[in-house]
Amino acid sequence: MSEDVTFRSRRWVRPEDLNAYGTLFGGSLLRWIDEEAAIYAIIQLGNPRAVTKYISEIDFVSSARQGDLIEMGLRATAFGRTSLTMRAEVRNMITRDRILTIEKIVFVGLDDHGQPIPHGYTDITYERDRLPHHHGLMRTEDGSTAD
């Protein structure tokens, strides 16, 4: 896993995650990555309404088998006005091979009306300080928080 990855989680490859050839189904992996990226975006943008906007090329370079452990890593690479861009990397912890990389995953924070809303952040938080304390707390146009 690259040194620049700051958010990681692990999965155990189970029978329901396999394709017809008995290796890890790409669709399962993409679903896990999207969910990890969504959680990371929610933490970084402090907005529970963060949606996937764009995913760049996905290069599957190796795979995993039932019983393998895989590790997914994400890092924020750019904070836009309403968006967050991340890089993703997945490795097989058993073989130590890289499974894939995705150079750009873009999430956008939305307001109550489903429109992009400025998040006001320019760098990564390593805490959970941006998370709302209850449902409904949102950033306003000027970047302050309001119910």
**Interface residues toward ligand ACO, by CB under 6 A:** 34, 38, 51-54, 80-83, 106, 108, 110, 116
Three-class DSSP category at 114: coil
Toward ligand ACO, which CB reaches closer, 49 or 98? 49
Q: How far is the CB of 31 from ligand ACO (least distance, A)?
A: 9
In the complex, the smallest distance separating the C-beta of residue 51 from ligand ACO, rounded to whole angstroms, is 4
Kindly list the distances between the CA atom of residue 16 and the CA atoms of 13, 73, 110, in Å, as whole numbers in the listed order. Answer: 8, 22, 33
By beta-carbon proximity to ligand ACO, the closer residue of 63 and 84 is 84
In the complex, residue closest to ligand ACO by CB: 80
Cβ closest to ligand ACO, residue 18 vs residue 51: 51
Q: How far apart are CA 105 and CA 8, in angstroms?
A: 15
Q: Are 98 and 89 in contact (CB under 8 A)?
A: yes
Q: Which of 22, 21, 46, 24 is nearest to 109 (CA)?
A: 46
